Structure 1
Amino acid sequence: MEVQHQETENKGKFYINDGNEAIAEMTYSKAGEQKIIVDHTEVNDQYRGQNLGLKLVTAAVEMARKNNIKIMPLCPFAKRVFEKTAKFSDVLW
């Protein structure tokens, strides 16, 4: 299961599909050119416990590093991941 990324002018999302069905999704809003605000993470109940939420956050961190962007995790799940994962602190806003 591969994390995919989709972005518009003001918003974006990282998501994982199983066939044609979205099973995990993390959404964000852009706050200027160099910042994003993660506002929601959701994993289908059938897929919980498989670290899919962590995969979504990790993909966002990798994108942020590549593009010199900072992340503000307003979503409670993403915020906990950032608090527990010191190696993500370089992109924390």
Structure 2
Amino acid sequence: MLIRIVKLTFEPGHIAEFEGIFKTSNALIKNFDGCLSLELLQDITHPNVFFTYSHWQSEDHLNAYRNSEVFKSIWGKTKILFSDRPEAWSVHKKV
């Protein structure tokens, strides 16, 4: 299993728009082959900073999603709202 953490920093005026995109896209991502779970987290101190936290069956499943039309559509709407470059990590749980 692979865990994917993505840090997304938005212009403060675009928070509600991003939350709307995530709300409508959440089921599409969760139902994508290989996605085991998906959560959206918001930084307490910096409310314009969000993290997606997802579990995938494998790196191949994650890559299939990242190369899909579903991802391209969601990412196209989301990336124009950023105030900083996104950061991403793929990790394995050790304990």
> Given the two structures, how large is their TM-score scaled by the length of structure 1?
0.34
Q: Which has the larger radius of gyration?
A: 2
Task: Name the one with the larger helix percent.
Answer: 2
Task: Name the one with the larger strand percent.
Answer: 1
> Given the two structures, how large is their TM-score scaled by the length of structure 2?
0.34
